[in-house]
Amino acid sequence: MEHRFYTLDVFTNTRFEGNPLAVITDGDGLSDDEMLAIAREMNLSETVFVQKPTEEEALARLRIFTTKEELKLAGHPVIGTWFLLAELGVVPAQEGGVHILQQTGAGVLPVEIRFKDGRPQRVTMTQKEAIFKPSKINKKKLAAALGLSPKDFDPKLDPELVSTGIFNLMVPLRNRAALGKIAMNMSELRKLQGTHATMAYCFALGGNGKAFSRGMLPWEFNEDAATGSAAGSLGAYLVRHGKLAPGHTLNILQGVEMARPSHIEVQVTQSGKKLVPRVSGAAVKVFEGTIRKCSKAPSASDFSARETACTRRIRRGFAKHSRSELRTSTKHKKGRTVSRAALLHFTHANVISARAYRAAGPCDPCAGPSCLCGCPSGPDCGLCGRRAGRAYLC
């Protein structure tokens, strides 16, 4: 089975800026373990799997995976995925805005897609009502975990946990220069945040509705180039503390220190104490391709059996040809000329050629992370001779 995938850069109109995202557009039929394995292979902050919705009102279901786990909601995966689906025609183009509903782990949420000349221009996601929790983290320890001094914090604002789908720690800094000084101690920040927050969203306010931010992740990626969920939380936080008027646009610049500038727009509607952010951005497609799903994924327990089977196949092929023929042959059986070095491979005490290997049986293209012949040695296999830098003759 094949699954189509695309990569995009989100919260930008320029390739190789913004926050990278992988989207598998036909994610049905994949197990949770398979989706997590694909997300690890993509090795991006998030990978999205588009599936048929289980809620009738939703157009599609979005499953969002990091390299560690599934997330209920995240901003740049939603923006990027719907921008892509609009480009692919899943959402019919019409001038102005198209409103649809999406199913996420955080529930069924609305999305608006703005078109111009038949092409998507901007995607807006409405997040959940903001939830606030006081942070009990010691500010001196937090400053140390970020490589900062307590004097770098904004004296008029305090760190606070905010969720508009997932919790993030809002960390107000005195100025933009403090953002540039951050040198995170990953293990210390992980200890301080625990399970209470996904990231420390450090920000400094500018004039005219602008903010500058860095999303510090206390796990393998260290920093996020653009974080839509945290940006929505920041908008709600600023409205709550009187730093942003409801309905006004907050323009956030993130990812500059990573050389991946990202532009995020946030508006917050207020009804009584209820604060609901709307996060907007663009995206640009970068790569596309196909993932071939193996009928049976290899496991560690298969390796010894595969090695034995590989050895048997090679020896059977070796028996069909004389050693002198193997040593002197300079042509593959299909007539492709190859070098002597590419023909002669060593397995145990025997010398075998690509011709003998061909006689032993074709490579298995679904051997997964092991060598293509089925043995576990990868690209430098001593059993079948598929060594790095040599000709692949099967």
Active site residues: 46
Report the C-alpha gap between 278 and 6 in whole angstroms.
25
Residue 362 in tokens: 């074709």
Amino acid at 327: R
Closest CA to 88 of 165, 172, 190, 4: 4
CB neighbours (10 Å) of residue 385? Answer: 24
Strand partners, 262: 254
Q: How far is CA 353 from CA 90, 350, 381, in A?
A: 51, 10, 14
Report the C-alpha gap between 166 and 354 in whole angstroms.
55
Closest CA to 29 of 44, 49, 59: 49
Burial of 264 (0-12, 13-18, 19+ CB in 10 A): buried
Report the C-alpha gap between 169 and 182 in whole angstroms.
15
Burial letters 191-229, b for 16+ CB under 10 A, else e: ebbeeebbbbbbbbbeeebebbbbbbbbeebebbbbbbb
Report the C-alpha gap between 249 and 247 in whole angstroms.
7
Across 193-333, the runs of DSSP E, i.e. the strands, are: 200-205, 210-216, 223-224, 249-254, 262-271, 274-281, 283-292
